[in-house]
Structure 1
Amino acid sequence: MLKLTGEGRTTTCDGATRRDFLQAGALGAIGFGLPQWFAAKAAGAVKPGAEDRSCIMIFNLGAPSNTDLWDMKPDAPAEIRGPFKPIASKAPAIQFSEILPRHAAIADKISLVRSCHHTGAAVHDAGWQVMQTGRIFSGGVNTPHIGSVVGRLKGRKTDLPPFVVLPELMGRGGGNLPNGQSGGFLGKAYDPFVLNADPSKPGFRAPDLLPTPEMGSVRLDRRRKIRELVDDAVSTFEASEDAALLGEDFQSAFRLMSSPEAREAFDLGREPSEVRERYGMTRLGQSCLLARRLVEAGVRFVTVNAFLTVFDEITWDIHGSKPFTSIEGMRDIVCPMYDQAYSALIEDLDRRGMLDSTLVCNLAEFGRTPRINPAGGRDHWPLCYTVGFAGGGVQGGRVVGASDPIGAVPADRPTSPGDVAATIFHCLGLDLEATLPGPAGRPFPLVDFGCREIRELF
């Protein structure tokens, strides 16, 4: 995560503080501009046809239960099938749980992969890392988030950063491992811009992006003059990568801080109240709405963390006993909130003609045990779980793969996190044969050996 401001304050002779300067200057490290984009395209990393697609990744932190939600087993014994009944949906191939009625109503726009699995540890942060990077953390190599890779290969489209995480980075997961939400070996320049605010709160604003209230047009004009002076000085430098990068980062930061489009994109007050209420006035609901506004304004990749940690809040982590969530808590609190926010996002994108140009993927670190535990909940299970896709060239109403009769292991079309990453890259027009500048300067394959896009989705 980029830390944009410090505690110290030093005032320059024109009245702008050191804090003001750093707020503008540090933001440019979030991504790069059109020169890098054209270079990547010329090198073959970006295929024509999907250049303008964006992605919203909803990460279901805590891990939803397949058997209780979207891969139900109504003919299995009670300790397997759980307390909920399946309901028909708008897609003949898909049944949803009765506690996800709004999903059922938009099922023709959603496709599910019911055979995802991984061999990583059954620990939350290990799962977060592998699902958001496509690779298991090993050998000290911190693989970048999928959104960081997209930012590296495609750059920014507008003054906004190419990769944003809402509303905050993931917190503790219990394993003391990287959570996957960083630029990894690509460097901090490709870390996401992190909102660090709850967009459902009254008076919400993006604190690290927008100018502070006391920074009016006079200071912005002063900053513009500073930029002009720097531009003049840079023009006299001897040609060097460092000088070019400094100039570009400064100008990118200034564009972001002073851009009316950036301020407008983060301003949820511009949305009609009925739209905000359709998403739900919750942290998740308003984060999903903000994600739609950001991709509409030109952000390439947005990750929405459905929850921030598995500790001290009601989440998908339904172990059944405190301090974790019960199945009843999932039914009464988590599912209504999630059902509302997700269905509103898909319907809103579709209504605005944005669904084909926006891939919405629903991921999680793993699933839950097929058998209900003695506390009445389900525990961690990376051996088989479901992920979902909508938009971005994906055909709706499909089911890919299958689990066995009790949902324990894949019975058809096993799918890995690397395949999921490849599918996202494919939808966004990236060449799966491309490489990244890896550790020690060695080429690093975009996707792991043998991983390919899930072709049955298209």
Structure 2
Amino acid sequence: MLLKTDGRHPIPRREFLRLGSLGIGGLALPSLLADQVRANPTTSSVTGKSVIFLFQQGGPSQFETFDPKPNAPSAIRTVTDVVQTSLPGVEFGEPMSQLARLAHKLTVVRAFQTQNAGHNIQPIVGPHSEEANIGSHFSRVVGTTNPETGMPTNTVIYPNAVESDVPGPQARGDLRSTGPYGQSFAPFVPGGGGDLQQDMKLSLPHDRFFEDRRNLLAQLDRLQRNVDRTGQLEHMDQLQRQAYDLLLDGKVAAALDLANEDPKVIERYDTAQYVPKHNWHKAARGRRGYYTGQAKSIGKLLLLARRLCEAGCGFVTIHAGYAGVWDMHADGNNLNMVDGMDAVGRPFDHAVAAFVEDLESRGLQDKIMLVCTGEMGRTPRINKRGGRDHWSRLAPLLLYGGGLPGGEVIGRSTRDGGEPDGEPFGPSHLISTILNTVFDLAQLRLVAGVAPQVVDLASKPAIHRTA
């Protein structure tokens, strides 16, 4: 099977390899498909919905996003302006102005706590997820590739998947962790490397395009001969060969190639206008590149995630906190709250609003769930430099789509914005909510022998509206 091109829309080799990761290692082989053969649950246990987990590494502030406290004492008070949302009596921090207009489509949880105040990758990977990326639990049930499209069912995308000049992954932890499962369930990482990555790359000049099908066929033929001569294909088992064919089919690369998207849609997602142009970045010891990378990539990452879900990926993790840019201590390494929300909050607001409007226009609001949170929240008290520090007892959590009714604010915080005022929700509630979105738990219990860990995690209480 070969990449299909019509000659009118050539794919740049650099983009194809960078985004599509046409190396076997980029799909976490040699066992990408192995457990799909063994995992064969009843189809009725899968809802057909997808989840995008936008992980805001560094720890976003609840005060300047979705739970502002404009009337609190000055040492606590939200440092930005606030804005009325489309829900009566509900306000957001002013940097969330575009999302405020869409609040009737969103679910905001004001009683969520990560129970964690350290820089790591909880709750996406941590003790509550059995040290596995939540997407690996999904793949453990449905298999590692979509049988209809060949798309990996679990993917992690970093800023460098959509912006070539952004350095590689800067996550504070291994988002490819599989916990109790084997590495065959590790997420697909576009642009990732692997044991056979270099051997499987197409040898085309970096500054050339795929001119036509004949050119591509010739390159693939040479690739086939070179690999055969080294004996690598001879030692591949059937599943490895199947994955090799998958790479050469081009469907994965087509989904990853944003050039296939409507230019007007790309423009709506574009957050490059938020690239820092001010001098405040000098306070962060030259970390301007981190804020630039975040501003340039977050919209495209969400667009890419939507395309992956449409192509059959069931769980996408977006690392949307490049180098921990939500960590707004106002020290030598990090911006203060006001400047930080300009640099990081506004592109986030723009990108997520574009995503919501895009899904609504496509009728996908019940098919894809978006989860936005970080590893922690921020302290009620503003430090003497104008920043907020790490806080475990309350964190912002935004949910959208996946069949949620929208227009809900679940729970409330104390007057100082430091803790839930009433029933708290934690990582276990969130993980259960996610798993109950993608699975029918009653049916999943019937195939518990396939993945008892998944049934256990999904059986915990989910996030719900309290009286």
Paired residue total: 391
Provide the C-alpha distance between the structure 2 equivalents of 1:35 and 1:450, rounded to a whole number of angstroms.
26
Q: Is the contact between residue 56 and residue 374 of structure 2 (CA under 8 Å) also seen in structure 1?
A: yes
> Aligned with 1:411: secondary structure?
coil
Aligned ranges 1:29-428 → 2 under 5 Å: 29-31=31-33, 35-36=37-38, 39-41=40-42, 47=45, 50=47, 52-92=48-88, 94-120=90-116, 122-125=117-120, 128-129=121-122, 131-133=123-125, 135-136=127-128, 143-155=131-143, 156-157=145-146, 158-167=149-158, 171=170, 173=172, 178-196=173-191, 211=202, 213=204, 216-218=216-218, 220=220, 246-255=237-246, 257-280=247-270, 281=272, 282-310=296-324, 315-428=325-438
Deviates more, 1:332-341 or 1:179-188: 179-188
> Aligned with 1:426: secondary structure?
helix
> Aligned with 2:385: secondary structure?
coil
- The Cα of 1:427 is off from its aligned counterpart by 0.6
> Aligned with 1:291: secondary structure?
helix
Match of 1:11?
none
Q: Is the contact between residue 436 and residue 445 of structure 1 (CA under 8 Å) also seen in structure 2?
A: no
Q: 1:444 to 1:436 in 2, by over 3 A?
A: farther
Residue identity (%)? 29
Provide the C-alpha distance between the structure 1 equivalents of 2:434 and 2:269, rounded to a whole number of angstroms.
25
Provide the C-alpha distance between the structure 2 equivalents of 1:75 and 1:21, rounded to a whole number of angstroms.
55
Q: Is the contact between residue 373 and residue 397 of structure 2 (CA under 8 Å) also seen in structure 1?
A: yes
TM-score using structure 2 length: 0.74
Provide the C-alpha distance between the structure 2 equivalents of 1:40 and 1:113, rounded to a whole number of angstroms.
33
Deviates more, 1:360-369 or 1:280-289: 280-289
- The Cα of 1:67 is off from its aligned counterpart by 1.0
Residue 314 of structure 2 aligns to which amino acid in structure 1?
A: R
| Cα RMSD for the two superposed structures | 3.5
Q: Is the contact between residue 291 and residue 302 of structure 1 (CA under 8 Å) also seen in structure 2?
A: yes
Q: Is the contact between residue 32 and residue 152 of structure 1 (CA under 8 Å) also seen in structure 2?
A: no
> Aligned with 1:341: secondary structure?
helix
Q: Is the contact between residue 379 and residue 391 of structure 2 (CA under 8 Å) also seen in structure 1?
A: yes
> Aligned with 1:80: secondary structure?
coil
- The Cα of 1:152 is off from its aligned counterpart by 1.3
Q: Is the contact between residue 49 and residue 314 of structure 2 (CA under 8 Å) also seen in structure 1?
A: yes
> Aligned with 1:132: secondary structure?
coil
Q: 1:309 to 1:209 in 2, by over 3 A?
A: farther
Q: Is the contact between residue 79 and residue 338 of structure 2 (CA under 8 Å) also seen in structure 1?
A: no
Provide the C-alpha distance between the structure 1 equivalents of 2:408 and 2:217, rounded to a whole number of angstroms.
52
- The Cα of 1:246 is off from its aligned counterpart by 3.4
Provide the C-alpha distance between the structure 1 equivalents of 2:378 and 2:22, rounded to a whole number of angstroms.
47
5+ residue gaps, structure 1: 1-18, 198-205, 235-242
- The Cα of 1:276 is off from its aligned counterpart by 1.5
1:208-240 CA distance string (max 9 Å, x none)? 998554793145457789999xxxx99xxxxxx
Q: Is the contact between residue 26 and residue 191 of structure 2 (CA under 8 Å) also seen in structure 1?
A: no
- The Cα of 1:145 is off from its aligned counterpart by 0.8
Deviates more, 1:24-33 or 1:345-354: 24-33
Provide the C-alpha distance between the structure 2 equivalents of 1:246 and 1:403, rounded to a whole number of angstroms.
55
- The Cα of 1:24 is off from its aligned counterpart by 8.8
Q: Is the contact between residue 432 and residue 460 of structure 2 (CA under 8 Å) also seen in structure 1?
A: yes
Provide the C-alpha distance between the structure 2 equivalents of 1:446 and 1:87, rounded to a whole number of angstroms.
41
Q: 1:436 to 1:386 in 2, by over 3 A?
A: farther
Question: Which of these residues, 453, 456, 462, is aligned with residue 453 of structure 1?
Answer: 462
Q: 1:84 to 1:26 in 2, by over 3 A?
A: closer
Residue 127 of structure 2 aligns to which amino acid in structure 1?
A: R
- The Cα of 1:367 is off from its aligned counterpart by 0.3
Q: 1:370 to 1:332 in 2, by over 3 A?
A: same
- The Cα of 1:325 is off from its aligned counterpart by 1.8
- The Cα of 1:447 is off from its aligned counterpart by 4.1
Q: Is the contact between residue 126 and residue 132 of structure 2 (CA under 8 Å) also seen in structure 1?
A: no
Q: Is the contact between residue 437 and residue 444 of structure 1 (CA under 8 Å) also seen in structure 2?
A: no
Q: Is the contact between residue 64 and residue 94 of structure 2 (CA under 8 Å) also seen in structure 1?
A: no
Residue 132 of structure 1 aligns to which amino acid in structure 2?
A: I
5+ residue gaps, structure 2: 1-20, 160-167, 206-214, 273-295
1:409-432 CA distance string (max 9 Å, x none)? 111221010110000000111527
Match of 2:208?
none
Provide the C-alpha distance between the structure 2 equivalents of 1:288 and 1:329, rounded to a whole number of angstroms.
23
Residue 331 of structure 1 aligns to which amino acid in structure 2?
A: M
